[in-house]
Chains A and B, each alone.
Chain A
């Protein structure tokens, strides 16, 4: 039984009332005295071009303009707006081949929306009017929208450092043959009784966080560069800005603002370099840089699209023998985290099933599409769409039940996780599968839908996934945390990692209160500014609770230890014999012997000496706890999703009727927040598989950079949602918790695709599976009873 009283409850979010009343201040809401407004002039006409003439003279004379800035007016230093370079050692950095290939303003446009120059004016309108007066002449260059196009020998190089426009492939020294895995794939495939193989296309999905990017920057009178940002990684923004502008970190102050959704798009920098460059040209003035939605769409990185080939061999009894795969993803015009998704897509693949032989190749090619980078799931939904469909294809042909096959062959406790050598400490995927199957009525519906007639067909599908809890061991996992006790025995915690809206700060506060033995409301937790908060790598890789929570717990344990030591001396018992409940420190074996925590903290702060006796009461010193925490392990979560769909074979429309998301999260620190992550994940997963894709014309200009033309699910599009929290406490995570931030969107992808397969007997290799593709598939292949496929179960 859990003895906790605060952890495991759905404590209301700390920021909820501010947000529900419109009082929460996002960056765009902040108004500083004498504020100026910036506007980045972008190239909208071309996706690949050279600037042959830039004339800012008319813009400079436009009413209300304070400054105009071209490439020559800002630092020529290059940067990489992503952050992987700060998360790996220098040797690893060199081996991966990470590069800095971005400039604040460019004369070589590599994607539509690349920044050309900047305007600073007294109002937004004045800046916009001036922007329209900037004269730019371009020399158009050939536009490469796919890897196949940009890898041609005569293609223009995006950067001299990357021949063949191959931004990244798994590096030879670490991955022999540029491949992840092991075993003899060729030999294993020769032994296979059944081989399934296909080439898939995975879509370019946009995060669509509701708050458009907004920044404020100011060079203050002490020469410090201030930046207000909604980045997911405020401390890395500080480090990146310091490097870009050649400043010591002490002269860069980053203030995190309330974040209106992240989902990866705010990982690292977006327009902080432009905002800061503008501010540095008008010392003493704050410059606000807002982003229009249509602009937001093109300037921030999206999910990596690309071609994903996979081949899996089985024995006829269902034993998996080998998996061979290659994901060729399309970067945008710049490198960013090219080494990230290309690797992780294969890592999740390797972490899922017991393939004795595995060979995965991941490659990233530059293209003239918009930037690609981090998006919740980070390579995992791509792999899920491919792997889980091929597994179901094989199951259908072998007559295996997809649930039973997965239960038999998924990896579990003691197996290598997504990184060899880091084994799974816990796995409750079987329970996820069992409870999910029961919730959707799996067996009965599979029987029922095996043979159908009529124009509207139904199907149920399943998919599973593994994800990660932090990025250890591939990337740095470091969080510092400080806990200060006030004299009234209330705690103030500094923890730099942002809450993007997941409710992480609420859950962390629960962890702190539980550890300290203090009431929830007697604990305060904030990100602080970069001045006061210690190092933290940022909110990514679903790490905030698993790693950040462990850091908060450790720092609070430090405080608790100090409190118990002082109490022990007062009560004349060993600290081990003491416990704290509701700020009362008592002897476990004799609860009547006790001292209030406040007695200790008050004496520590107000440490008076009695003039009559020369004696002081209690022990001196304000108690503070601190940890500089490095995650010792990685305990990935698992999940199983079940979908029921209805396919209209006359219109091609797919309606998802129900989606069950059963998740092995170790322990829910805040169940409502965990459910919220899984429910929101479903909406994004459904978008990936059914409706969301950024489309470009032949010249690389985006066709649907708006909520009108890019279809994300609205309230009425959503199916009935059931989330099942499977709690099997992890031996490593804080209070048994594993991660949940990203993983909810992953397996709905495969589950819906497999439900469509169950409904009409057709698999679709291109996501999103739009009505057009469904109709085309039906036209070409005909609707088939699932029961008529091979030895289908």
Chain B
């Protein structure tokens, strides 16, 4: 019925080989095939950012990417940030600032925020807001999220 395709990629720094349906999204592969459920389905059309992952250092909506397109690439998910000290500081900033409420947008927010900090360590509030524009949150009004990211800028200085 469905065509399977073997792919191989780096997932959070570890080589991974899986067979995926050619119509499958990267999001479904991460959640259902690999079993990493930190990346969330929120809308399926790239609007909410709950499924934000990093592909070769760029942030991508996993719901808009085919699983087969992961072949040969370097994929990092929220789970992969666990071992990253910079991301750890960022997560602690989210904790300290009360930037998490229901938490459903949070993994995508953290992945995107980590990307902002890495590409623009001196980002100001306006830059951070622009950077988070693709990540929707319905709980916080974004204030504490932006505050948290700003406080983690420049290594928290």
Contacts and interface: CB of A to CB of B under 8 A. Distances in A.
Contacts of B154: none
Interface string B89-108: 00100111110111111110
Contacts of A293: 42-45, 48
Nearest to B91: A20
Contacts of B3: none
Contacts of B138: 207-210, 261, 263, 680, 683-684, 712
A24 B103 contact: yes
B137 interface: yes
B125 to A, nearest CB: 10
Contacts of B104: 26, 209-211, 260-261, 501
A501 B110 contact: no
Contact of B140 (A260, A262, A680): A680
B42 A20 contact: no
Interface string B12-45: 0000000001000000000100011111111111
A676 B101 contact: yes
A502 interface: yes
Most buried by B among A19, A125, A721: A19
Given A261-B139, A712-B136, A715-B132, A25 B102 contact: no
A209 B41 CA distance: 12
Interface residues of A, number: 58
Given A676-B144, A707-B48, A721-B143, A210 B96 contact: no
B141 A25 contact: no
A589 B21 CA distance: 74
B37 A29 contact: yes
Interface string B115-157: 0000000000010111011011111111111100000000000
Interface string A663-698: 000000000110110011111100000000000000
Given A13-B98, A672-B98, A20 B144 contact: no
B98 A673 contact: yes
A716 B2 CA distance: 42
Contacts of A207: 138
Contacts of A15: 100, 103
B50 interface: yes
A28 interface: yes
Given A676-B140, A707-B43, A25 B105 contact: no
A261 B91 CA distance: 20
A680 B101 contact: yes
Contact of B133 (A26, A681, A715): A715
Contacts of B8: none
Contact of B136 (A10, A675, A707): A707
Contacts of B107: 19-22
A212 interface: yes
Interface in A205-261: 207-212, 258-261
Contacts of A313: none
A498 to B, nearest CB: 11
B71 interface: no
B94 A16 contact: yes
A13 B100 contact: yes
A292 B136 CA distance: 17
Given A10-B98, A721-B141, A714 B136 contact: yes
A715 B146 contact: yes
Contacts of B59: none
Contact of B79 (A10, A16, A22, A503): A22
B40 to A, nearest CB: 7
A38 to B, nearest CB: 16
B78 interface: yes
Interface string A1-41: 00000000010110111111111111011010000000000
Contacts of B40: 26, 28, 210-211, 260
Nearest to A723: B143
B47 interface: yes
Contacts of A19: 100, 102-103, 106-107
- Main DSSP-derived SS at the B contact region: loop
Contacts of A209: 102, 104, 138
A673 B144 CA distance: 10
A707 B142 contact: no
Contacts of B95: 12-13, 16-17, 20
Most buried by A among B31, B96, B106, B126: B106
B2 A707 contact: no
Given A707-B43, A715-B132, A21 B38 contact: yes
A23 B139 contact: no
A29 to B, nearest CB: 4
B103 A676 contact: no
B82 interface: yes
B50 A210 contact: yes
A134 B126 CA distance: 50
B35 to A, nearest CB: 7
A20 B21 contact: no
B64 to A, nearest CB: 12
Most buried by A among B21, B38, B95, B102: B102
A397 interface: no
Nearest to B109: A20
Nearest to A206: B138
Contact of B101 (A17, A502, A706, A714): A502
Nearest to B37: A29
A500 interface: yes
Nearest to A674: B98
A15 B40 CA distance: 17
Contacts of A22: 36-39, 77-79, 106-107
A782 interface: no
Contacts of B1: 63
Contacts of B91: 17, 20-21
Contact of A210 (B36, B42, B44, B78): B42
A501 to B, nearest CB: 3
Contacts of A715: 128-130, 132-133, 135, 142, 145-146
B86 to A, nearest CB: 14
A380 to B, nearest CB: 18
A679 B39 contact: no
Contacts of A503: 98, 101
A502 B39 CA distance: 22
A716 B129 contact: yes
Interface in A243-293: 258-263, 292-293
Given A20-B95, A716-B133, A259 B47 contact: no
20 contacts: A13-B95, A15-B103, A16-B94, A19-B103, A19-B106, A19-B107, A21-B78, A210-B102, A258-B103, A260-B104, A261-B102, A293-B44, A293-B45, A501-B103, A676-B144, A683-B138, A708-B47, A714-B133, A714-B142, A716-B133
Interface of A: 10, 12-13, 15-26, 28-29, 31, 63, 125, 207-212, 258-263, 292-294, 500-503, 672-673, 675-676, 679-684, 706-708, 712, 714-716, 718, 721
Interface of B: 1-2, 21, 31, 35-45, 47-48, 50, 77-79, 81-82, 91, 94-98, 100-107, 110, 126, 128-130, 132-133, 135-146
Given A21-B79, A501-B101, A680-B141, 12 more contacts: A16-B95, A19-B102, A19-B106, A22-B106, A28-B41, A29-B31, A258-B103, A260-B40, A261-B104, A679-B144, A707-B136, A715-B142
